[in-house]
Chains A and B, each alone.
Chain A
Amino acid sequence: MGSALACDDVYLPATVSTAVKLLVVGHFAVGKTTFVGTLSEIRPLRTEETMTQAGALTDDLRGVPDKTTTTVALDFGRLTLNDHLVLYLFGAPGQQRFTRLWEDMTRGALGALVLADTRRLEHSFDVMGLLEEYGLPYAVAVNRFDDAPEFAEEELREALDLLPETPLVTCDARDPRSSTEALISLVQYLSAREGQEPA
């Protein structure tokens, strides 16, 4: 059952005064859009940003004549958590070249959930590197695909080169409960980190 506060309305309840955001990141086709769509109380929205010159400098477009702009899409959803707090989930592409987008997304973000696929674990390195560069704490959730091999947690940790404290969970991005639990693991970790930091 959804909470009484969760509504299909386009607009936020009038009492909501604080908005926070978490990022859902990962490589192409890892399930970011599915994850956001599973949890969002509104139809997930997409914004598109055209990246011109500044992005093109670091873009690998050699051999593609006359291509100076590229469009990057950002999918996001919303969860009203109580009468004054709303959480936004941004499903973000992991490409380094969209620097301005990453600055925008990470500014003020609480943390990130990295979605990974056991068939292509090495594809997660880029996005994990980016998060570290931006100083954003993250947890890793292996999105279970039906035909993907299963590994022991230790093997996955080693393959992903995770720090001992980085949470690693599995989830099914199509399932609301499983996806909510993955987010809870992330927020528990963020909360514990916050408690450790000197005041």
Chain B
Amino acid sequence: MTAPRPGRRGLVRPYVITEGRAHPTRDTFDLVTLVIATGAEPGALSPEKDRVLRLCRGGALSVAEVAGHLGIPVSVTKVLLGDLADDGLILTRSPVPSARPTEPRILQEVLDGLRARL
């Protein structure tokens, strides 16, 4: 396999960025899973993982925001985040949402929060 050439963003196919993988190493990433860098020092990273990690150093963001800010498809972002998590470079902050996680308490908090905006 040919190594991706650095500095050629937009010409690199997603499966090259992810080293041929379509799925992350773990199924813990939802669109709204919050991620943040741990602050651990990385070894050598691919340019894409480096961009993700640099963005995550500033504070917590959802997986969807990481994808949106960097212009990377969500599916690819999840693969990159999975690798970074495996290497101890990022942490996930919110629990994995189950099929229907709604606790009445959460709904009430959403309702209160929305009403406060009126």
Contacts and interface: CB of A to CB of B under 8 A. Distances in A.
Given A10-B69, A76-B68, A82 B31 contact: no
B82 to A, nearest CB: 15
Interface range on chain B: under 10, 10 to 19, 20 to 34, or 35 or more? 35 or more
Contacts of B3: none
Given A49-B74, A76-B64, A90 B31 contact: yes
Interface in A142-194: 176-177, 180-181, 183-184, 187-188, 190-191, 194
Contacts of A20: 32, 106, 110
Nearest to A190: B107
B98 interface: yes
B59 interface: yes
Nearest to B32: A19
A12 to B, nearest CB: 4
Please provide the 7 A-B residue pairs with the shortest distance between their CB atoms, ordered closest to farther: A108-B97, A81-B113, A11-B59, A45-B68, A19-B32, A191-B107, A12-B60
B67 A107 contact: no
Contact of B109 (A12, A47, A85, A181): A85
Nearest to B116: A3
B118 A19 contact: no
B102 to A, nearest CB: 6
Contact of A190 (B34, B75, B102): B102
B16 to A, nearest CB: 14
Given A12-B60, A19-B33, A108-B32, A194 B116 contact: no
B10 interface: no
B65 A78 contact: yes
B68 A47 contact: yes
Contacts of A12: 34, 59-61
A182 to B, nearest CB: 10
Nearest to B106: A20
B117 interface: yes
B114 A81 contact: yes
Interface string B78-111: 0000000000000001100111111010111111
17 contacts: A10-B59, A18-B94, A20-B110, A21-B32, A50-B14, A85-B106, A85-B109, A85-B110, A88-B32, A108-B98, A110-B106, A110-B107, A135-B100, A187-B111, A187-B114, A191-B107, A191-B111
A188 B104 CA distance: 11
